[in-house]
Structure 1
Amino acid sequence: MQQHSGDTLLVDGYQRRFEYLRLSLTEQCNFRCQYCLPDGYHPDRTNQFLAMPEIKRVINAFSELGVKKVRLTGGEPTLRRDFTDIISSIADYSSIKEIALTTNGSRLYHNIAQWKDAGLTSLNVSIDSFSPQQFALITGENKLHQVMRGIDKAFEVGMAKIKINTVLMRGVNDDLSYCLPWLKEHNVDLRFIELMETGEGQSYFKRYHMSGEKIEQQLLKQGWQLMVKEGLSGPAKVYQHTDYLGRIGLIMPYAKNFCQSCNRLRISAIGKLHYCLFGDSAIELRDLLSNDGQKILLQQRILNSLKMKPETHFLHQHDAGITQNLSFIGG
C-alpha cells in the first residue's frame, strides 16, 4: 500500500486529510499538574507501553499512508530511556518532514542537543505560568527555572521551531502582562490552550475554564494581527505584532467549526488508534504490530477506522468520551 503521489491516503468521510500523527510513548509523568494528574501518575500494571519494534511498525505504516509529521507525546515522553533512539528511527523515513516533541521541559537542558542531532525538528514546552510560585502550584514541581534553562539551551543549539503551551485558566494565568515582556525578545509561539473537560477533571473545569476569545479580544485591541496558517500546523489561531519577536496562538476547542480543520490522528502508548482526543472509542492496533508481515492488514484497519471518525467532538455536551485525563492519549 506504498503511496507515491505525495498526497495522503488518510481521508475521512468529511474530506479531512490526515498528514499528522501524535504518538504517545508513555502515560507516565513526573509532574502533577492540577488539570491532568493532580495526584501524580499511578502505574497500571496491565499497561505495557509500545516497544521500539512496535513503534517502528506504526511509523512505517503511517508514513506509507501519507503522514508527514509525527509528534511525540505522553505523559512525559522523555522519561523513556530509548527516547533518543525513537527519534532516530523516525528520522530514517525521508517522507516524515517534521518530528516534534511535546514535553514539560524537565529534561531539556541536558538532552536537547542530542535530540536535535537525532532528528528532532520542533519543540513544544508546557509552561502554565511564568511565575515560579504559580508554576509550582499548578505542576506540583518547583522547576520553572530548570525548564527556562532548557528553553535557552534549545535556542543555543539552534532549534528552529519552539512553542510554549499554556493551559488557560481563569484567574490563574489569564493576565497577558506576565508573558508579553518575554515575547518581545524570544522568537517563539506562546499558545493559550483552553482548559478542556475530562472524565476526572469536571470540577476543575467548572472552576477554571474560560474562553480564549477573551484573550483574542485583548490581542486585537493591542494591534495583534492574525497570521495565515501553514500546511502541517495544528488548530491554533496565531497572532503577530510588529513590536514582538514572538507570536501568540489560541487553541479554542469550544469555538464554532473547530473540528473542520482537524488534521491529526492519535496513537496511545498502549497501541490504540484514537480518531479524536475526546472520541468515545478507540481502534486496537497492537495485535497487528507483532511482526512486519501484518503491515497491509494494519494499514487496512487504519483506513477503515477513518470511516468512524465523527464530524465533531461533543465537549459542548460535557461529553469527554473515554478520555479520563490528558496523559491518557497525549493531550
Structure 2
Amino acid sequence: MLQDGHGRRFYYLRLSVTDACNFRCDYCLPHGYQARHQQPDLSVAEASTVMRAFAQLGTRKVRLSGGEPSLRKDLPELIHSAKTTPGIKRVAVTSNGYKLPSVIDRWHHNGLDQLNISIDSLDRKEFAHITGHDCLPKILTGIDRALELGIATKVNAVLLNDGAHTRLHQFLAWLKTTPVTLRFIELMQTGDNRDYFASNHLRGTDIEQQLIESGWQLLPRPLDAGPAREYVHPDYAGRIGLITPYSKDFCNTCNRLRVSAQGKLHLCLFSDTGLDLRETIRTGDADALAEKVRALIGNKEVSHYLQQGNTGGTQNLSIIGG
C-alpha cells in the first residue's frame, strides 16, 4: 500500500485526460480555455500504464477528469481501460455534462460506475451566466438517464457567496425526489481568480451547520471516498456532501493522488509543480512507474497551505482536474 511520510494511505487516483474545457465558468476559466503546453495528452495506452502502476500500489478507484473529459472522443476506451485494470474496483468520470445525453449509454457500456456532474445553479439563466452555456435542461436529462442506468451520480456545486441561500433552497427541493449526492464545494483560490475569490468565498461550514440543525446526519466515510463529508435525511431521496478545504485538519484524511494529462504527478492539487513521469510512462513498464511513484511520495507535504494563501502552481482547476 502506498503511504506517505505522514501516515496517509492512497486508494484513489484522479487521472486528468485533458486540460481543455468548453465552459467559461467565472471562478475557473472566465475567458475560456487557453492551451499552456505543447505536449500531447496521454494516449489510451499511456493512461493504461499509469492505472496499472497505481493499481499495484493499492489504488482501488480511478476518476477520469479534466478539463472536460468528454472532449476526448476516445473517453469510452479510457473508461474501458480503467474498468479492466486488475485491482481497480470503481471507475468514475467528472464532467460538465454538456454532451451527457448522447454519451452516457456508451460510458455505461464501457464500465462507468460513478458520474460527477458540475452544476452550480438550478436556475437556468444563472447557470448560463456562470458557465457561458444555456444547456442546463439537457444536462438534467442526461442525469436522469444516468440514474436509469444505475450509475451512482453526484452533482458538484461550487459555493458562491452571492445568492447562496436561494441556490441552497432550490437544490434542497430537487433532492426531495432526486437520488443524487449533491456536493457543495468551497470556492478555492487559484493563481487566476484571486479577486473573484476575495468577493465570492463562502465557508462550507456555515451551510453544514444549517443542515445539521435541520436534521441531516453524517455518514461514515469509505476508504476510497473523496474528501466530502456526506449527510443523509429521512425526508430526502438525495444526499448532501460538503468539501471544505479551508477547514482545520482537512488534509489529514487525504487519500488521493493526481496525474495530469501530460503525465505529471501532482502530490497535491496545490503543489508548486508536477513531477514528470512521461518518459517512464512511455516505456509501458508499469512496475518501473510504480517504483518511481513510491520513491516520490515521500515529498508530499502535510498540508496544501491554502489557509495561508498558497495556490502553488495551480493557475486554474482545469489544469489537473480539481
Q: TM-score, normalised by structure 2?
A: 0.97
Is contact 2:55–2:86 with CA below 8 Å preserved after alignment? Answer: no
Deviation at 1:295, TM superposition (A): 3.3
1:169 matched to 2:163: no
Which residue of the partner structure matches residue 84 of structure 2? 92
Structure 1 position 274, deviation (Å): 0.2
Partner Cα distance (2:11, 2:212) in 1: 31
Partner of 2:289: 298
User: Per-residue displacement from partner, 1:258-300 (whole Å, max 9, x unpaired)?
Assistant: 00000000000110000100112321000111223x4333222
| Alignment check: 8 A CA contact 1:73 1:330 kept | yes
Equivalent positions of 1:169-318 (< 5 A) are 169-175=160-166, 176-292=168-284, 294-318=285-309
The question of whether the paired residues in 2 share the 8 Å contact of 1:99 and 1:120 is answered with yes
Matched, 1:140 2:132: yes
Distance across 1 between alignment mates of 2:229 and 2:35: 36
Instruction: Please tell me whether residue 319 in structure 1 is matched to residue 310 in structure 2.
Output: yes
Q: Is the 8 A contact 2:52 2:86 kept in 1?
A: no
In 2: Cα distance, 1:330 partner to 1:321 partner: 15
Secondary structure of the residue aligned to 2:176 is helix
- Post-superposition offset of 1:35: 0.6
1:122-169 superposed Cα distances (whole Å, 9 cap, x missing partner): 01000000000110111011111111011011112221x110000000
* Counterpart-to-counterpart distance in 1, 2:89 and 2:37: 35
Determine helix, strand or coil for the equivalent of 1:307.
Answer: helix
Tell me, yes or no, if the aligned pair for 1:128 and 1:165 is still in contact at 8 Å: yes
Q: What amino acid is the match of 2:289? A: L
Q: Is the counterpart of residue 104 in structure 1 residue 96 in structure 2?
A: yes
Q: Counterpart amino acid of 1:43? A: A
Structure 2: which amino acid aligns with 1:316? Q
1:45 Cα deviation after fit? 5.4
Kept in 1, the 8 Å contact 2:17–2:65? The answer is yes
Q: Check conservation: 2:100, 2:142, Cα contact below 8 A.
A: yes
Q: Contact 2:97–2:142 at 8 Å: present in 1 too?
A: yes
Deviation at 1:101, TM superposition (A): 0.6
Measured in 2, the distance between the counterparts of 1:172 and 1:139 equals 16
Q: Indicate if the aligned counterparts of 1:123 and 1:163 stay in contact, CA closer than 8 A.
A: yes
1:92-119 deviation digits (Å, cap 9, x = unpaired): 1231000001000111101111111101
Instruction: Indicate the residue corresponding to 2:119 in structure 1.
Output: 127
Report Cα offsets for 1:65-122 as digits up to 9, x if no partner: 1111000000001110110011111111231000001000111101111111101100
Provide the C-alpha distance between the structure 1 equivalents of 2:27 and 2:147, rounded to a whole number of angstroms.
29
Unaligned runs of 5+ in 2: none
Counterpart residue identity of residue 307, structure 2: H
Partner amino acid for 2:72? Answer: R
Give yes or no for the alignment of 1:115 onto 2:107: yes
Q: Which 4+ stretches in 1 moved above 6 angstroms?
A: none
Q: Which deviates more from structure 2 when the two are superposed, residues 41-50 or residues 122-131?
A: 41-50
Q: For residues 66 and 217 of structure 1, what CA distance do their matches in structure 2 show? A: 35
Query: In 2, distance between residues paired with 1:275 and 1:323?
Result: 12
Whole-angstrom CA distance in 2 between matches of 1:49 and 1:40: 19
> Structure 1 regions of 5+ residues with no counterpart?
1-7
CA distance in 2, matches of 1:92, 1:225: 36
| Secondary structure of residue in 2 paired with 1:63 | helix
Partner of 1:3: none
Q: CA RMSD in A?
A: 1.1
Is contact 1:198-1:324 (8 Å) kept? yes
Can you list the C-alpha shifts for 1:277-329, whole angstroms capped at 9, x where unaligned? 0112321000111223x433322210111100011111111111000000010
Distance in 1, Cα, partners of 2:237 & 2:223: 22
Partner AA of 2:301 in structure 1 = P
One-letter identity of the residue aligned with 2:199:
R
Classify the secondary structure of the residue corresponding to 1:214.
helix
Distance (Å, rounded) in 1 between the aligned partners of 2:293 and 2:14: 14
Whole-Å separation in 2 of the counterparts to 1:172 and 1:272: 37
Q: Which amino acid aligns with 1:250?
A: L
Aligned residues: 321
Equivalent in 10, 29, 52 of residue 18 of structure 1: 10
Secondary structure in 2 matching 1:185: coil
